[in-house]
Amino acid sequence: MQRSLAKVWTKLLITGGIFIVFPNAAVPQSSPKTIYVVVPVTTTLKSDEKIGRKKAGLVCLPNGTLDAQDIKVGLADSAKGIIKALSNAGLTAVSSDDFTAAPSERAAYSVRWLKAVVTGADFNVCAKKWGMGDRQRVSGKAALAVAWSVREGPLLLSDKTWSAQSVIEYRSDQATSLDFIAAAGVVHSLNVDNLRD
């Protein structure tokens, strides 16, 4: 009888008992999906600070100066271009206004807040069709200095910061609005490689 019990006990150890000695390995959990939340673009420039010159007419005669106030709308709209650039690079991005996930749901994401601050601007543009009634479309050069930062939480100090310079030029046949040029300049300064781990 004792020998029979010993055989049964040995069999239990070999079959069922192995789960006590070697528990099942934990199922690996997938890493949280990284999502970039783009906050509104701001500037350190004062509204009345001079940022360049404007000209008008077919021969581009002097027509006054440009203030930072003149590109305010363009800077505000540039967040849309930043999101598009990130998406084109295969990254997930939304605006801070559209990031509506509840705190309990955010555990599924690795949230990174991306911010751009325009610290300098120099525009030299011309409205060639000024005399023909089109005073909004301009061409020329624009240079922007942008300070970028990315952080893991909206209340935390920046985890990574860098500065970038952007110079873009629009020919007369590419004339567009001053706001569009300002927004394009901000987007052009973004180097997506700086975001990759």
Rounded CA separation 32/47 (Å): 41
Beta-bridged to residue 185, according to DSSP, are none
Q: Say what percent of the chain tops pLDDT 70.
A: 74
Is the confidence at residue 83, as pLDDT, over 90?
yes
Is the confidence at residue 156, as pLDDT, over 80?
no
Q: Which of 39, 3, 26, 12 has the alpha carbon at shortest distance from 154?
A: 39
pLDDT tens per residue, range 60-75: 888 889 999 999 999 9
Is the confidence at residue 2, as pLDDT, over 50?
no
Pairing of strands 109-127, 42-43: parallel
Rounded CA separation 69/152 (Å): 31
For 29-195, the fitting CATH number among 3.30.40, 3.40.50, 2.60.450, 3.30.160 is 3.40.50
Residue 132 corresponds to which tokens in the numbers above? Answer: 């023909």
What is the pTM assigned to this prediction? Answer: 0.74
